[in-house]
Amino acid sequence: MKISKYIPAFLKPDSEGPWDVIGRLIREGWRKYWPGYAVAIFFMIIVAATAGLTVLIIRDVVDEIFIDKNLSELTFLVMAVVVISVVRGVSLYVVAVALERTGNRVIADMQTRLYEHVLKLGITYFDKTHSSLLITGISNRSGAAKSVISTVLTNYVKNLLTVIVLLGVMIATHPWLTFIVVVIGPAALIGVRILVKRIRSFARAEFAGMAQIIARMQETALGIRVVKAFNLEPAMTSKMGEAIEGVRRRRNKIATIKAQTSPLMETLGGFAIAGVILWAGYAAIYHGEKPGDFMAFITAIMLAYEPAKKLANTRVALERNVIGVRFVYEIIDTPVKINPNLDGPELEITEGHIRFENVDFGYRSKKPVLKQFDFEAEPGKLTALVGPSGSGKSTIMNLIERFYDVSGGQVIIDGQDISKVRIASLRDQIAMVGQHTSIFQDTIRENIRYGRPSATDEEVEEAARNAMAYDFITDTSDGFDTMLEEGSSSLSGGQLQRIAIARAMIRDAPIVLLDEATSSLDSESEYQVRVAFERLMSGRTTIVIAHRLSTVLGADTICVLVEGEVVENGTHDELLAADKTYARLYHLQFEQPASQAVEDEEPAVASVG
């Protein structure tokens, strides 16, 4: 699988700077988060002020104590130092806690927003988006918003203010000396800017690499049986190794470039200090200037150095996280293509009559799957769809569920165009059992209850009984409370299917859509699943993608599809007598090696889809 085609557009070269993202974070968040950030900012101001006070105290310490030997000043200054450090310490604590707590709320909100939006997106989005991107989105990328805000506030408030306060003190003491510092500062900024550009491309590549690692891990977990059966371990290890190695190399690059800002700043900082010592020493030696001011100035430079360095580094620190936030925004901004008609009328089911009228439909590729397609499922009857793989059977199901919208014509249920009714009211009337049973990480009881969350425990058990699932469920270690997980291997294929049928039964919907599994079951399971299916279908409008002989034999109508067209319609006997497509598909299955027919007891029919 090639991951690169899933990489969002913004990761391709030349995206904008961080300001659009920061601006949006502020616009969307300030109303909600301002109290927390206001507290942080207030205490950041105090932190900056304490830096200025420290410098002034140093001046007084040197002048009053070491030069003038003033004892009362000593006591006062010592007290002042103690108070300032306590205030500074407490303020730093409050800043850190306020930033973290508010930031964690930002993350939680971002994750909720992302998840809610992902749930709204149509199936088309999931068709083209690798799930590893969604996983990175909700796991580490959501955290990027917190880091961006913290970085911006810490640097542009705390560090900037500290630098400004210290510069103020410097100007107050030695305006001319300050000049040296001010000249060197911008030189450093230019250097850092060049480094930022280089980091950006590596940060993008690193992100793509991480998504790839997650995708590979996912594939491995989901396909572990194939991996082992085909002895793919070495091949998978080497593919994973490439991805891991790629990310490692990029991270090293980023680290190297990031670290380059340090020597740059150190060297320039050293130049500044050397210049100041030269100048101030000269002034002290030849003009008898008091050392207090000089010491204060040096202290101010020393204190300003760290925040100034961080300030210059802001862009570097932001780079990676801005990409993360932009990625989350890209998902959140993906338009919802299927209109849920939240204020639309409810679908009213009178008898459960489904009709396709002149339906045109194609998936993303230009090739249409259905053209001027007409189809009908009669109320309360069983309609079986058969036809070769790719003929459009699942597409019909997808359109009834409105997983996709038709591009022409209408899908009509009891006289109502399904694209006009509230989508939830449509889906409420449908119970679907797909080929692959979706198991959620929950107990068996809850897995059944997903069919109708308001169902009582008794109703769940009743559904399990009707779906022939009760006995095996009560035989499991914790009965209905047994935990299931994705890829749950503690249950057999037939058992999982019966759980899916129970889930559909509890929904008690007038329309049932079934895709019979192709995997063959042992005859006991086969029998139980068949009974369960029959109970589920009875009295309901049912459309089934048929794989079992019993299903086609029992169907009121069999629709034979070939390349998106209904080529034949009728009962099993009629179609067999007509001796056309259906008869051919049917014989193809039955004239297979006799051994298989004996083994399966109920050989699968026609639709090998």
Interface ranges with ligand ADP (CB under 6 A) = 127, 363-364, 369, 387, 389-395, 609
* Shortest CB 45 distance to ligand ADP, Å: 56
CB 321 within 8 A of CB 198: no
Residue 340 or 434: which CB sits closer to ligand ADP?
434
C-beta separation of 560 from 572 below 8 A: no
Q: Considering the complex, state which of residue 193 and residue 337 has its C-beta at the smaller distance from ligand ADP.
A: 337
Closest distance to ligand ADP from the beta carbon of 525 (Å): 24
Taking the complex as a whole, the smallest distance from the CB of residue 508 to ligand ADP amounts, in Å, to 26
Nearer to ligand ADP (CB atom), residue 279 or residue 363? 363
List of residues 6+ apart from 347 with CB closer than 8 A: 413, 414, 416, 418, 421, 422, 425, 426, 428, 429
Of 428 and 565, which CB lies nearer to ligand ADP in the complex structure?
565
Helical ranges in 389-450 per DSSP H: 393-400, 423-428, 444-449
Under the phi-then-psi rule, with left for phi > 0, alpha for psi from -120 to 50, and beta for the rest, what region is 148?
A: alpha
Other residues' Cβ atoms within 10 Å of the Cβ of residue 60 = 17
Helical H segments across 121-232, by residue range: 123-128, 131-136, 142-153, 160-173, 175-222, 224-229
Least Å distance, CB 363 to ligand ADP, is 3
> Contact 569/559 with Cβ under 8 angstroms?
yes
CB of 128 to ligand ADP, least distance (A): 8
* H or E element that contains 483: strand 483-484
Tell me, what DSSP letter sits at residue 11? G
The per-type count for the chain, helices as H runs and strands as E runs, is 21, 12
- Nearest to ligand ADP of 393, 540 (CB atom): 393
Dihedral sign of CA atoms 455, 457, 459, 463 in order:
positive
User: Toward ligand ADP, which CB reaches closer, 70 or 124?
Assistant: 124
Tokens describing residue 322: 């801005």
CB of 561 to ligand ADP, least distance (A): 6
Q: Give min distance, CB of 350 to ligand ADP, in A.
A: 28
Nearer to ligand ADP, 169 or 546 (CB): 546
Nearer Cβ to ligand ADP (510/564): 564
The minimum distance between CB 129 and ligand ADP, in angstroms, equals: 12
The residue with its CB nearest to ligand ADP is 363
> Does residue 227 contact residue 220 with C-beta atoms inside 8 Å?
yes
| Least separation in angstroms between CB 191 and ligand ADP | 50
CB of 409 to ligand ADP, least distance (A): 16
* Cβ 393 to ligand ADP shortest distance, Å: 3
Minimum separation from the CB atom of position 418 to ligand ADP (A): 18
Q: Which of 357, 12, 73, 24 is nearest to 201 (CA)?
A: 12
- Which pair of structure tokens corresponds to residue 85? 């450090």
Least separation, in Å, of the C-beta of 127 and ligand ADP?
Answer: 4
Q: Nearer Cβ to ligand ADP, position 191 or 388?
A: 388
In the three-class reduction of DSSP (H, G, I as helix; E, B as strand; rest coil), residue 441 is classed as coil
- How far is residue 133 from each of residues 136, 139, 313, 330, 588, measured CA to CA in Å? 5, 10, 29, 11, 43
Give the residue with the Cβ less far from ligand ADP, 5 or 287.
Answer: 5
513 backbone dihedrals φ, ψ, rounded to 5°: -115, 120
DSSP 442-482: EEHHHHHHTT-TT--HHHHHHHHHHTT-HHHHHHSTTGGG-
Q: Two tokens at 385?
A: 């769809």
How crowded is residue 210: how many other Cβ atoms within 10 Å of its Cβ?
A: 21
Question: Are β-strands 511-515 and 541-545 bridged in parallel, bridged antiparallel, or unpaired?
Answer: parallel
Closer by beta carbon to ligand ADP, 69 or else 364:
364
Using alpha carbons, select from 601, 561, 596, 608 the residue that is nearest to residue 582. 561
For residues 464 and 500, give the distance between their C-alpha atoms in angstroms, rounded to a whole number. 10
Cβ closest to ligand ADP, residue 137 vs residue 392: 392
Given the complex with ligand ADP, which of 161 and 396 has the nearer CB atom?
Answer: 396
Cβ neighbours around 255 below 10 Å, total: 12
- Type of residue numbered 459: E
Residue 408 carries which DSSP code?
E
Block residue for tokens 């993906």: 334
Instruction: Give 31 or 364: the residue with its C-beta nearer to ligand ADP.
Output: 364
Smallest distance, Å, CB 585 to ligand ADP?
Answer: 12
Which residue, 341 or 395, is less far from ligand ADP as judged by CB? 395
Task: For residue 301, give the nearest of 283, 279, 286 by alpha carbon.
Answer: 279
Least separation in angstroms between CB 544 and ligand ADP: 12
Closest CA to 497 of 448, 450, 424: 448
Looking at the Cβ atoms of 123 and 135, the one nearer to ligand ADP is 123
Kindly state the smallest distance separating residue 530's Cβ from ligand ADP, in Å: 21
